[in-house]
Structure 1
Amino acid sequence: MCQRPLLVPVILFGLITTLGCCFYINRVQSRDKSAIYQICQFDWTSESHETVDVEESVQFGAIKSGSKYAVFTSSLHGSEATDYGFDLPLTAMAWNRIGFGSIIIIVGDPQRHKRKPWVQYLMDTLADKEYIVVLVLKMVSSSQATSISQVVRLFATSLVRYNTSDVGIRDTYLLTADADIWPISRDFFVLPPGKDILHGNIGDLAVDGLRVIHAPLSYVGMKIQTWYSVMTLSGLLPMPKTIGEIVKYFGDKFRRNVTHGGEGWYIDQVMISLRLHQWKLENENGRKVYVYQRQLTKDRIDRVHWPTANLSLEGIVDAHLLKTSYQPNKWIRLRPLLRKLFPDNDAMRWYEQYVDRFNKLISWS
């Protein structure tokens, strides 16, 4: 695999800025739409901004022009790092099965986790797969890692744009996804003909009197050039000079990691929902947007009701994996699905070897 140095000019500062702005929406008293979007959308191309280089990060692999990629993330910090880390190569293989590569964003420095031998094993495993592109954001503190990993998918276009020499990647299709969800359907995730954006609808989202479609992060798909437009990003994502004041104002909310279901847990969905709404207003009122509908109780294999027998994939879109699926009592429940997706014996042997090695390394940590 190709390894190249990657300088990310303040991608984290951009994330903190945008995250803080979306938190601020709840405090806005104005009912004017433009006022709301002025708060949630910075003009990244303004001359009043400056670029600051930050600590070097690393990219493995290269983006291929015209290809399709699922984008998902994992943090090396926190109580669930092992759980999500184990899932990464398996989820990437599930995407590869239906014709997608994977852009995996690792938040945290693997070199700082030498007491966890499974981390290096994971990195080696990911780097060995030609359909996986890995972006490692090393400069993130443990207190911010979960928050960053939650929203960084929305900024994958900026990372990709900065870290590739291929000027033809604007037609590359990026789809946000989750590390612990496997795609099953071969057709569901593809951008329909004549459409620029694909996203879901889980109800209405009310922000200071404005009601928009609440789009889940799994799944939002569009080509890189459209991602630029939706997120109002320049290629290098410069840092606003006002970032110091913004971080000072919102720091207490962002400097500690979000917790499941707590304040800020869905901030990534709030952010993309508002961006999508604004883009639709400015682009033919959304006629080129395909909004899909889901019935999760029918079209998802869910971890809460994981099937124990008569597993059928008919009408199934995806599968939400069991937590700690590397544990023997969980792995044996996962094997029937693996058999369905990957009937080849060589693939199954690889999976068995992977989970066996992973468990041994965990026990040494």
Structure 2
Amino acid sequence: MTQTQYFNDLPLLNDHFYPADFSSLYENLVLLSCSSHSYTLSYCYYLPYIALAWRRIGYEPVVFLVGRKEAFLQMPLIHTLNVDFKITYHFVDVDPPRSISASQIVRLFGGFLSYNYNTTKDLFILIADVDLLPITRRRFEIFTNRTNYILAVNAYCCLKERFSYANFSNIHYYPMSYVGMRKDLWQMVFRPTKRCSSEQNLTVDMIECYLKEYMNITLPKYVVKGSKKWDLDQKLLSLLLARAKYSYGTHIDRRDLGYRLDANENFLSSEMNSILFYDDIHLPNKNVKVLFSERTWPILKRIFSRLFNNKTMQLLSQYHHQTTAMLRLNGTNR
């Protein structure tokens, strides 16, 4: 099968309320998150686009909104998620200094939530970053119901980043995007201890307890991308995957990155006519002024229109213009 054939048989998301027909062994979910006090608004801004792109390839999105609820309620984001697209979201209350690190780590605890889906299939839960736009489904298809199966896409991204902790040495370093497993296996990997509650409502206290238990650390404050503690979520994930292999004999299906279009200085000058030849797109997130400039939206719109139908695009365009109006009103530069 040629690369072109992979993409031509994947249609637009014709009904933005429901996933595309996607034959699977599991009921597939994807967990996304953003912080109300991130150093850049791009992560929260991208949520509807990324969530719908996952829905298009058969993964129903579940969103964690981490930080101060009142800050989120002022954003057009809430109406777009709730009313326009019926996307499930959960508020996770935490003080602003810890909201970025909490938003990164909270996805690892999605196995402890209750999901109200009428299905006889096991829930398969994937975690993903909110600035990565999935295009194709082939990297996320699962062809086995093997016991204790774990999917790890882009598993070879960081071969030089191996680390050691406690009794585990030379630990394979996994990126958060993309790792998935059945809900019950997530619970086993992040198994509760007597000290740490595993209630169905995620709290920051619960996460703090687990961090103390597993790595003897607390949620860092004011983390910035590239700083020493920025990848705490990846290290915790990698450590627990190493432990799970030892404790439960897990099978990790390591897959490569595939074809990714990275955000770079040429991104906004691209014609974007060939995006369907990529597996995913790393959307730009560094310069908010550029992201919300008048010349940027037509380019992003061209990307999204290759994935979604006209009605969905009308709602997304409305969301974009409401967001830019809010930024102008508030004078926000982050």
Out of 318, 321, 325, which is 1:356 matched to? 321
Q: Is the 8 A contact 1:86 1:326 kept in 2?
A: no
Whether 2:42 is the aligned partner of 1:83: answer yes
Deviation at 1:103, TM superposition (A): 0.9
Mark the structure with the bigger radius of gyration: 1
Paired residues for 1:1-365 under 5 Å? 67-80=27-40, 82-112=41-71, 117=74, 119=75, 121-129=76-84, 132-138=87-93, 140-158=94-112, 160-161=113-114, 164=115, 171-195=122-146, 196-199=149-152, 200-202=155-157, 203=159, 205-207=162-164, 210-233=169-192, 235-236=198-199, 254-284=219-249, 286=250, 288-294=251-257, 299-304=259-264, 305-306=266-267, 308-309=270-271, 311-313=273-275, 315-323=277-285, 324=288, 325-342=291-308, 344-365=309-330
Q: Amino acid of the residue matched to residue 255 of structure 2?
A: Y
State the 1:328 CA deviation: 2.1
Deviation at 1:165, TM superposition (A): 6.5
Worse-matched range after superposition: 70-79 or 104-113: 104-113
Q: Structure 2: which 5+ runs fail to align?
A: 1-24
Distance 1:350 1:178 in 2: 23
| TM score, norm. by length of structure 1 | 0.69
Label 1:129 to 1:193 Cα distance change in 2 as closer, same or farther (>3 A).
farther
* SS across alignment from 2:49: helix
Decide whether the 8 Å contact of 2:50 with 2:132 is kept in 1. yes
How far 1:231 sits from its partner (Å)? 1.6
Q: 1:131 to 1:123 in 2, by over 3 A?
A: closer
- CA contact under 8 A between 1:102 and 1:131: conserved in structure 2? no
Corresponding residue pairs, total: 284
- The superposition leaves residues 150-169 of structure 1 with CA deviations (integer Å, 9 ceiling, x where unpaired) of 111111112x13xx577979
Paired AA for residue 284 in structure 2: L
CA offsets per residue over residues 96-130 of structure 1, 9 Å max, x none?
1111111110012232567xx4x2x2111111256
The percent of aligned pairs where both chains have the same amino acid is: 24
- SS at structure 2 position matched to 1:102: strand
> Does the 8 A contact of 2:27 with 2:121 survive in 1?
no
Distance 2:276 2:59 in 1: 21
Cα deviation for residue 191 of structure 1 reads 2.7
Q: Alpha carbon RMSD of aligned pairs, Å?
A: 3.3
Q: TM-score, normalised to structure 2's length?
A: 0.75
Tell me if the contact between 1:92 and 1:102 (Cα under 8 Å) persists in the aligned partners: yes
